[in-house]
Amino acid sequence: MAWTHYKLKFRLLSPIHIGYRKVGNLMQTRQYVPGKNLWAALTARLTRDFPDIEWNNGYKEVGKRVETQFRFGYLWPSLDGNEPCYSWDCEDFDYLFLDSYASTALDYSSHSAEEGSLHETEFIVPVARNGKPVYLLGDLWVNEEVEDKIDDESWKGSMENLQLGGERSYGWGRLALSPDCTGNNSGNGITAAGHRWQEEGGENVITLNRGEKITAHALASSEAGDRDPTNDIEGPVEPMVGREWGAFAGQKVCYSGVYFMPGGKIRNANDQAQFIIDPFGRWISY
């Protein structure tokens, strides 16, 4: 088998803000960590941790290597470190896991707050309102057959020092990796989301039954001809837009397509739907 599957478990050590949208003066957070955030955090950590190693040719090249060698599942909050909590299953999700922090810029010339700068940042809390520590659970697949791969010691060491999301300069987004995240080469394992997966054609294929909920973004519409959208899901959609490398980091605005959001339900008349996982953890119809 080309892919080794790891079940990830992180202990959240500080608030984490995963940018979603702005409502009034509130910067909302997503209720989960997308795979692209994991890709970016691991890329940054590897580039900084191993500046002199032969595979390190800067952020852009390390990012390409991570895209080839790794597939990421989305991270979801958990109270017991074993089962993820989904917003559609947990009635008290917002109460247990979300809080916000208000701040403003200062106008030193008038010794007051700068006009129009008051804002509130929502975050996932490190300790839930019931007093329990918050974990983040997800999946990682590592391709063991790529050429010139990043060695296990390097990427595993960097995974122990990830920092995710916004406000990182204030200490937000710090994680502690659980020591029991061991690998499994089984090609018919069960992911943290409870869905079946297997390796087919060199890719990881997720299988869901009719009525099950998706736990990552799934492609609904795309201008790229090499990716197949799906009509097997019902639920809200959103466009995926972000900044990518151009002449420099973040210079190019990239539109990836319209995706069904996590929580969408499988409605396939054939009772099952299958998806492959792209390098950023998003699902593409198989």
Ordered per-residue pLDDT tens for the chain, 286 residues: 588 999 999 999 999 999 998 888 888 999 999 999 999 999 999 999 888 787 777 888 899 999 999 999 999 999 999 999 999 999 899 999 999 988 776 666 766 666 666 668 999 999 999 999 999 999 999 998 888 889 889 999 999 999 999 889 889 999 999 876 666 765 555 565 567 888 888 888 999 999 999 999 999 987 766 667 888 899 999 998 887 766 666 667 788 889 999 999 998 767 889 999 999 999 999 8
For the record, the structure tokens of 82 come out as 């074993």
pTM exceeding 0.85: yes
CATH architecture of 1-183: 2-Layer Sandwich (3.30)
Q: Which residues of 24-52 are buried (b: 16+ CB within 10 A; e: fewer)?
A: eeebbbbbbbbbbbbbbbbbbbbbeebee
- Sheet strands (E) in 35-160: 70-72, 76-78, 98-103, 106-107, 112-113, 119-124, 135-143
**Sequence spans of domains, the chain:** 1-183, 195-286
